[in-house]
Structure 1
Amino acid sequence: MDNNISADNIHRPNTKKLNIYFTAGVPNLGDTAEILKLIQNSGADFIEIGMPYSDPVADGPVIQKAHERSLANGMTMAKLFAQLKLVKDEIKIPLVLMGYINPVLSFGFEKFCSECRDSGISGLIIPDLPPVEYEKSYRQILAAYGLNFIFLVTPETSDERIRYLDSLSSGFLYAVSSSSTTGNDNKEVKNGDYLNRLSALSLKNPVFIGFGIKDRTDFESVTEKAAGGIIGTAFVKILLENKDWQQKAGDFIRSIKN
């Protein structure tokens, strides 16, 4: 099973990595396993699973709606881990959990990390966990359970802080294309200045670009200077708005990667 996040996996020749995000529990509570297999079989390289939360402040209206529907469907952290365990041996690409710190702390941080390890999770993205708190209280626990932790940077982040967050991250560095919420149509996706600056810093982690990537053109544009691209809102929108989402979702991923 080759589902660990590593530089070797990310930097394989002639490949640009596609990371697909979806919110667990959407469109229906029991769809998680099917969506994971669909994303993998359609050619994506990573899967980012959103943990539903009642106040997803960094997300735009589409993913906010997905969080609301997931919670209304009855998704919980315990149910998500149970679903992941059912298919962990079938999923051969890295799985990353993304969400907010409050539900993780409510679940119990070390218990959460243990469940991640037992569910086939390779890494975590928790944007509202401050780096200082991460270093002080959580870094050693994550290491003990073999979990990567990925920090986010924006165009407004200074070079010094980018290097600092890169030094703390493992797996990859998540470069948000703008300081706006997810799903916004922002010019920075196609603006090479930000990507050029990141490239010039010679960071230790591969860089993945997220926020505002909607199609193959966007993906190819950002991966000229980055190791990969992350697509969330455009994919989640398919899950929310189409009864026949299986075909449309698979076709969408294939249109990006193939």
Structure 2
Amino acid sequence: MKNRIKELFSRKNSNVLSVFYTAGFPQLDSTVRVGQALQKAGADIIEIGIPYSDPIADGPTIQESNKVALENGIRLSIILEQVKELRKTVNIPIILMGYVNPVMQYGIERFARDAAAAGVDGVILPDLPMDAYLEDYKQLFSEVNISNAFLISPTTSEARIRKIDQETDGFIYAVSASSITGARGAFADEQRTYFKRLQGMKLKNPYLIGFGISNHETFSEASKYSSGAIVGSAFVNMLRDSKDKEKDIQTFVGSLLN
């Protein structure tokens, strides 16, 4: 069984663009149309957010999109159905990102089986402790060929980064700052120091930089130090305000890459 994340990084290891958006936002049925438009526009990875009532790591933009999506009636079972529908037309990697609580409520084994059947390639569960992952999730995910991406930040110790690198089988999510999500203007010197430190560690897995990537400048700079970058809040803002999503998604992705 192929894993599209591993496949992607085996042939492309620079300027990889992963775009995050919230499932069920702005409308309940937006999930599929947005994903299709992202592939068409040239994104490399689609990262679909699982809305949660208390998204503590997220800034105002993504918090608000979570609230709207939940009010629209989105839930994990619907998201998996939407991914299944998306898979009929989309062949780039699809990652589900969210807090571990909805996954536990759904049932870990059931989630792993249903996510794989729907065509999910990977998950990012920021609040899942590594020990719990290794004990309860790793074997399950491995059996159904789902990659798990751990987060690291400027305050993560070298020993922990090495351990994460050892336990990763897709890519590592390098958070650019110890803060909440949100679009920012430019990187500070201490962030560049952190990026250079990661570069110097010669990790075996690729890593993508996220948090604060909002335009061509931040995407290009992040990509100098890594395999690429993850864009979230800036894209969600655009979706909220867009009157012509397909056209605006094309323009947004183009503005990041060119």
Shorter-chain TM-score range = over 0.9
Distance in 1 of aligned mates of 2:99 and 2:138: 16
Once the two structures are superposed, what CA deviation does each residue of 1:63-118 show, in whole Å capped at 9, x if it has no partner?
A: 00000000000001111111111221311110000000110000011111111111
Compute the RMSD of aligned alpha carbons.
1.8
Distance in 1 of aligned mates of 2:37 and 2:192: 32
Once the two structures are superposed, what CA deviation does each residue of 1:199-239 show, in whole Å capped at 9, x if it has no partner?
A: 11111110100000000110100101100100000000011
Distance in 2 of aligned mates of 1:236 and 1:102: 23
Distance in 2 of aligned mates of 1:156 and 1:175: 11
| Displacement of 1:54 | 0.3
Partner of 2:99: 100
Distance in 2 of aligned mates of 1:15 and 1:228: 6
3-state secondary structure, aligned to 1:75: coil
| Displacement of 1:187 | 5.5
Q: TM-score, normalised by structure 1?
A: 0.95
CA contact (8 A) 1:11 1:227 kept: no
CA distance 1:236–1:184, change in 2 (3 Å): closer
CA distance 1:186–1:175, change in 2 (3 Å): farther
3-state secondary structure, aligned to 2:5: coil
Query: Which is worse superposed, 225-234 or 189-198?
Result: 189-198
Partner of 2:15: 16
Partner of 1:4: 4
CA contact (8 A) 2:116 2:145 kept: yes
Partner of 1:130: 129
Question: What residue ranges of structure 2 are gaps of 5+ in the alignment?
Answer: none
Partner of 2:30: 31
Distance in 2 of aligned mates of 1:242 and 1:93: 24
CA distance 1:130–1:16, change in 2 (3 Å): same
Partner of 1:212: 212
Partner of 2:221: 221
| Displacement of 1:245 | 3.0
CA contact (8 A) 2:183 2:234 kept: no
Within the alignment, does 1:177 sit opposite 2:176 as a pair?
Answer: yes
CA contact (8 A) 1:188 1:194 kept: no
CA distance 1:186–1:193, change in 2 (3 Å): farther
Within the alignment, does 1:161 sit opposite 2:180 as a pair?
Answer: no
Partner of 1:195: 195
CA distance 1:77–1:14, change in 2 (3 Å): closer
Q: Percent of aligned pairs with the same residue? A: 40
| Displacement of 1:243 | 2.7
Once the two structures are superposed, what CA deviation does each residue of 1:31-76 show, in whole Å capped at 9, x if it has no partner?
A: 1111110000000000100000000000000000000000000001
Q: TM-score, normalised by structure 2?
A: 0.95
Question: What residue ranges of structure 1 are gaps of 5+ in the alignment?
Answer: none
Partner of 1:62: 61
Distance in 1 of aligned mates of 2:78 and 2:255: 32
Q: Amino acid of the residue matched to residue 48 of structure 2?
A: I
